[in-house]
């Protein structure tokens, strides 16, 4: 016999809880509950009621824990915690997003400005200011910002959109959970290390945010694995896709030239920073 369990206003959270209960061998489903927009999570077998209520209490305390989203992905259901409405994509929502993740928004704005100037015919001027130069030349002119700024250069619409979308999603997640300082440090370390490594291997003719994108990917991936309580999470399917894309770059079967070294070094730097952060946290707890 089924039993009502809990009423939740957000439909996404209701489905998240129902998926998790089902993954724990306690089948549950969601049904509309009231005209106020509440949704009822219904347990299908009353014999599980006591255990299910304990899970509900835990869910109410920490509904964004990665294990709930993981259960949804494993069940093949994509759960949207913030249902889209026709008015959601407007200036107010974009400003709120930028306020919540200001450094993520700043890098997005800089990349967008550089790309817009490039397609308007100013690529030569912008490129001269931001591109990497041979290390011998940097040693003479001391324009060391060029070790970072190639990250802002993009050479096609696909290149630009791919990078800024991943940066916006993963960067904002890191900034909201761990703060602007952590994301700033990750950006600087990954941009510097990936750009320098790419220049050593193939010379200064490259650009793009891809090294940083692979760094934030690796950081979220390893932090979610080592410290799931911190709330950073990325589906394993996305990690797999990005790793396959990395391998295809080395196989040289794609229609574009890939900065493979920058991607690899960026990924390694992100994973390493996540591991160091988790290790540091463990040592603090041990004290």
* pLDDT tens-digit readout, 177-233: 899 999 999 999 999 999 999 999 999 988 999 999 999 999 999 998 898 778 787
| Whether the predicted pLDDT of 85 surpasses 50 | no
Q: Give the per-residue pLDDT at 75.
A: 57
> Largest Cα–Cα distance in the chain?
79
Question: Does 110 lie in the same domain as 9?
Answer: no
Q: Can you give the three-state secondary structure of 66-116, one letter per residue?
A: HHHHHHHHHCCCCCCCCCCCCCCCCHHHHHHHHHHCHHHHHHHHHHHHHHH
Question: Does 236 lie in the same domain as 124?
Answer: yes
Question: Does 103 lie in the same domain as 70?
Answer: no
The answer to the question of residue 82 being in a domain is no
Average pLDDT, the chain: 85
Number of domains in the chain: 2
For residue 68, give both structure tokens.
């709930």
Domain that holds residue 171: 92-286
* Mean pLDDT on 24-42: 80
Question: Does 113 lie in the same domain as 9?
Answer: no
The answer to the question of residue 36 being in a domain is yes
The answer to the question of residue 41 being in a domain is yes
* Mean pLDDT on 121-131: 91
Classify the C-alpha dihedral 15-19-20-21 as positive or negative.
positive
CATH of the domain at 194: 1.20.1540.10
| Whether the predicted pLDDT of 65 surpasses 50 | yes
The answer to the question of residue 202 being in a domain is yes
Question: Does 238 lie in the same domain as 124?
Answer: yes
Question: Does 64 lie in the same domain as 124?
Answer: no
User: Which residues are known to be catalytic?
Assistant: 210, 263
Question: Does 232 lie in the same domain as 195?
Answer: yes
Q: Give the per-residue pLDDT at 87.
A: 41
Q: Give the per-residue pLDDT at 74.
A: 60
Q: How far apart are CA 9 and CA 4, in angstroms?
A: 15
CATH of the domain at 49: 3.30.70.1530
For residue 144, give both structure tokens.
């060391």
The rounded Cα 213 to chain-centroid distance in angstroms is 8
Using the 3D structure, point to which of 74, 103, 124 is the last residue of a domain: 74
Q: Give the per-residue pLDDT at 253.
A: 62
Question: Does 150 lie in the same domain as 279?
Answer: yes
| Whether the predicted pLDDT of 26 surpasses 80 | yes
The answer to the question of residue 254 being in a domain is yes
Question: Does 141 lie in the same domain as 195?
Answer: yes
Question: Does 172 lie in the same domain as 48?
Answer: no
């Amino acid at each position: 016999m089924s039993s009502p369990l809990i009423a939740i206003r957000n439909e996404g959270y209701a489905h998240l809880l129902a998926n998790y209960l089902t993954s724990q061998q306690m089948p549950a489903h969601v049904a509309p509950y009231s005209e106020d927009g509440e949704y009822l999570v219904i347990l299908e077998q009353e014999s599980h009621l006591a255990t299910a209520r304990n899970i509900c209490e835990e869910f109410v305390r920490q509904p964004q824990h990665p294990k709930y989203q993981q259960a949804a992905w494993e069940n093949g259901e994509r759960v949207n915690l913030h249902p889209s409405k026709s008015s959601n994509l407007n200036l107010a929502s974009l400003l709120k997003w930028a306020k919540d993740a200001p450094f993520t928004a700043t890098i997005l704005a800089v990349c967008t400005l550089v790309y817009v100037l490039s397609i308007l015919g100013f690529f030569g001027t912008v490129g001269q200011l931001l591109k990497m130069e041979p290390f011998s030349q940097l040693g003479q002119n001391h324009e060391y910002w060029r070790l970072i700024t190639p990250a802002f250069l993009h050479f096609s619409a696909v290149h630009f959109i791919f990078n800024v979308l991943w940066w916006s999603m993963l960067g904002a997640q890191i900034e909201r959970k761990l703060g602007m300082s952590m994301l700033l440090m990750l950006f600087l370390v990954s941009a510097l290390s990936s750009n320098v490594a790419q220049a050593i291997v193939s010379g200064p003719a490259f650009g793009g945010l891809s090294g940083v994108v692979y760094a934030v990917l690796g950081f979220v991936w390893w932090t979610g694995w080592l410290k799931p309580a911190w709330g950073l999470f990325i589906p394993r399917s996305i990690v797999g896709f990005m790793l396959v894309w990395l391998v295809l770059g080395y196989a040289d079967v794609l229609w574009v030239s890939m900065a493979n070294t920058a991607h690899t070094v960026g990924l390694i730097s992100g994973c390493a920073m996540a591991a160091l952060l988790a290790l540091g946290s463990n040592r603090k707890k041990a004290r």
